[in-house]
Amino acid sequence: MEIVEYCFGEEKFLTQIERCEWRAAKYLAHLLKEDKLQTALGGWGKLYLLTEGDTLVSFITLSERDCISVSECAKTPWLGFFHTAPEYRGKRLGKMLIDHACDCAHEKGYHRIYIATDHIGLYEKYGFTYLKNATDIYGEDSRVYYKDI
């Protein structure tokens, strides 16, 4: 397994992101194709991929903002678009990506990181603490978690 940073135009991984069953992955693929990821992520952001050879196992973004409006939660940085392929789930492989993104945020001088989700019980096992519910940019309720890094 290897963690790599996505580079614009990497078709083999873009195609795999696009084929994911998750609706948000399809939106991520659209942003990547249109080279609009940086704008969507608040001006800066990275997409990290966990790969096994040419196979995409998991991915996550580290960015200035996510889907929570600034008026709801003016915090930064955020993890987002976290996904692990179904055949790799249950092996805690995604933890490698979360830890990597947290390390990168810490190297940038951050001491806390945030994630917005509708999941309950998923991010707690990675050391995240529930902060509050907030409305996302689509008008939906989302749970905001944080982790000290």
Whether the CB-CB separation of 114 and 145 falls below 8 Å is answered with yes
pLDDT score at 66: 87
pLDDT at 10: 77
Report CA-CA distances (Å) from 143 to 8, 17, 62: 30, 24, 18
CA separation for the pair 130, 120 (Å, rounded): 9
pLDDT in tens, the chain (149 residues): 999 999 877 788 999 999 999 999 999 999 999 989 888 888 889 999 999 999 999 999 999 988 887 766 778 999 999 999 999 999 989 999 999 999 999 999 999 999 999 999 999 999 999 999 998 888 889 999 999 99
Task: Please tell me the pTM assigned to this model.
Answer: 0.92
**The pLDDT value given to residue 126:** 94
